[in-house]
Amino acid sequence: MKSRLFSLAIYMSATLSGMLVLLYPFFLPAVSQQAGFGTLRVEQMPMMMTLLLGLCLLVLLFEAQGPMVNTKLIALLGILVAINSALRFIETAIPGPGGFTPIFFLIILVGYIFGGRVGFLMGALTLLVSALVTGGVGPWLPAQMFTAGWVGMSTPILYPLVRAFAGRQTKQGSRNINPEILLLAVFGLLWGFLYGAIMNLWQWPFIIGPQNQSYAAGLGLLATLQRYLAYYLVTSLVWDAIAAIGNVLLILTFGAPALRALRRFRQRFEFKYTPESSTGGNQQGRSLTG
Amino acid sequence: MKQPWVWVSWLIAILVILSITRNPLYLVIILMCVLFVGLSLRQAGSDIPRPISLWKLAGWVILLATVFNTLTSHYGTTVLFAIPGKLPLISGRVTLEAMIYGATNGLILTGMLASFAVLNLALPVRDLISLIPRAFFPIAVVTSISVTYLPTTLRQFQQIREAQAVRGHQMRTLRDWLPLLMPLLVGGLEHAMQLAEAMTARGFASTRPMSGRGQVYPRISMLLGLLLLALGWVTQLGSAGVSGLAMILSGVLLIIGGLWYQGRQSPRTTYHRKAWSWQDWLTLVAVAIVLSVCLLPLPWLSRQTLYYEPYPTLTLPPFSPWIGLTMLGLLIPGLLVLNKNLTEGCNLNIRK
């Protein structure tokens, strides 16, 4: 129980710290007593953000991998990350339209079936491995890994919604629409836009653009939000809309069979090794899900 | 150079300089150093397939950054011409200062992209994986499995595609991808099953897990580190004092300390340990000198030449020959690669 609370505290602190780093343009007027970024210069901010986000990511990864000394989970993640990275590799070679990328389909489904912890690792490691093999390692990588990890980590919020929808459907006796797939598709749609919006935050304060779209220190929360929305609408909405629609189409088309396959393998992976002479030393009995 | 960390230190030096200076003269020197090292590596045979060549990418980045800033930023006193009308974003004065500022942004971005591209050229994937700290050994294993299995996955995808094509399967709609993707997923999961059994049979993760204080201390340290990091960040943004930076530094140290403590519990064995060569030391010394010159307030160097802004009126960027000369130290990895190539070429000729 203590360990779980500790774990929860670490997850919350790392996530909140990461959000503080990314969302600073919105709360800066409330804390700042002077224009600018304290003792930091404008050019130093992206590096500072990369460093801080990288550290938050390291702590999250450390906590998520905690009980992962489990061959089944390591092998499963290794192979699923390889499949997802292969999809990204193909996408890099033959670019899809706009921001379309097939990687979130598997991140969302794996997070939903195997739990938030595995989902986080799936998201973060997919971006890491695909960056390694496509030569995409760069200062943007920690932010990408963090955000993709959030996509996978946030899937458990669907469980109560799916239960509620499924219960209502059973009462009404209708079996036409699979509520699980529908909710996952909506989730994919939202993350299609959110991923772009979060990644934009990494660079938005440093881009000099038209006055009503660019960041200016000293504005209030609402004015900053308004400017960011204007910037997002002009520069990213169409791009992210294609990504979001791509997620929806992939989940609607391949979601049901992929969920069946992942569920079947989750059951097959839930066996236990019981070493004859071991007194609790072996970790194989641990649950696979996070 | 054999040590991956030496390449990482070279990359850090480049990124630090790119983040502190906007002087185009220094930026051009850094960019030339990066390109020289990249070309030396290419000549040595290191290459990775890219969707777009680095030269083209650099050209586009600089051009786009220049055009974007010239058209959208109307600051500066040297007016080149004015765009009439009420076009949102574009109408207004077009200034030389905005153009130079945009080009400088492009140079910085190109420098960052190019330096990471050089790192990807210099280090094979196995060396990049070896950079993962010991505290993250399960993640390093997952990454190794993924990188190893990736070519197999691509081959499997090709085989499935060919098998379906032989059966007359045609790709017309999105749904037609289902017979390709599902066998790939199910095949991969079967492979994961076999891999897990093989790893268990070979005794992977069969050691007694760490418990008690050994597991609690690093987590406490990291939790405290995170809190200090968040508090320091807010303080830093809120005031110009150094208390914020001090808190951030303490947070960083606590997190790194926690990871280091945890890493000590997971010993790493290496079949063939790479020895430190004189080339590694030489590069490290050069990197240390470059960073010292750019970061330390040494009295005999005019460090203010690093902080150049073209606004409000364009002036010639100042230049300190000592700083420029020291930055050339970043050429050393490229020179060492060229030297190695020449030596190997000569040895081959002698043998012939």
What's the whole-number mean pLDDT along residues A49-54? 85
What's the whole-number mean pLDDT along residues B253-280? 84
Domain ranges of chain B: 4-133+275-351, 147-201
Q: Is B188 within 8 Å of A83 when comparing Cβ atoms?
A: yes
Show residues of chain B in contact with A78, CB under 8 Å: 141-146, 149, 192, 195
pLDDT of residue A88: 83
Task: Please state, in angstroms and rounded to a whole number, the distance separating the CA atoms of residues A228 and A233.
Answer: 8
What tokens does A96 get? 């899809």
A284 pLDDT more than 50: no
A277 pLDDT more than 90: no
Picking from B16, B53, B150 by the largest number of A CB atoms within 10 A of its own CB, the best residue to mutate is B150
Type of residue found at A286: R
Picking from A62, A88, A268, A277 by the largest number of B CB atoms within 10 A of its own CB, the best residue to mutate is A62
Q: A19 burial class (0-12, 13-18, 19+ CB within 10 angstroms)?
A: middle
Computed over every residue of chain B, the mean pLDDT equals 84
B63-87 per-position pLDDT tens digit: 888 887 888 777 888 888 888 887 7
Task: Please state, in angstroms and rounded to a whole number, the distance separating the CA atoms of residues B217 and B224.
Answer: 11
Give the residue among B293, B311, B302 at the shortest CA–CA distance from B17: B293
Residues A210, A154: contact at Cβ < 8 Å?
Answer: no
A190 pLDDT more than 90: yes
Show residues of chain B in contact with A137, CB under 8 Å: 116, 119-120, 128
Which of 101-140 (A) contact B at CB < 8 A?
A: 121, 125, 128-129, 132-133, 135, 137-139
| Residue count of chain B | 352
Domains assigned to chain A = 2-269 (1.10.1760.20)
- Which residues make beta-bridge pairs with A40? A37
Q: What is the largest CA-CA distance in chain A?
A: 71
Q: Is A282 within 8 Å of B206 when comparing Cβ atoms?
A: yes
pLDDT of residue A262: 93
Residues B30, B14: contact at Cβ < 8 Å?
Answer: yes
Higher pLDDT, A152 or A218: A152
**Helices within chain B (DSSP H only):** 4-20, 24-43, 54-72, 96-122, 125-130, 137-166, 178-201, 213-238, 243-264, 278-295, 321-327, 332-351
pLDDT of residue A283: 46
What's the whole-number mean pLDDT along residues B274-291? 91
B191-210 per-position pLDDT tens digit: 998 888 888 888 776 666 66
Q: Count Cα atoms within 13 angstroms, Cβ side, for A282.
A: 17
A5-46 per-position pLDDT tens digit: 888 888 889 989 888 888 888 877 666 655 555 555 565 677
pLDDT of residue B240: 63
What's the whole-number mean pLDDT along residues B126-134? 82
What is the reported pTM?
A: 0.76
A91-113 per-position pLDDT tens digit: 766 667 777 888 999 999 999 99
Q: What share of chain A is helix, strand, coil (3-state, %, to 5)?
A: 75, 0, 25
For chain B, report the end-to-end CA distance as a whole number of angstroms: 27
Task: Please state, in angstroms and rounded to a whole number, the distance separating the CA atoms of residues B289 and B283.
Answer: 10
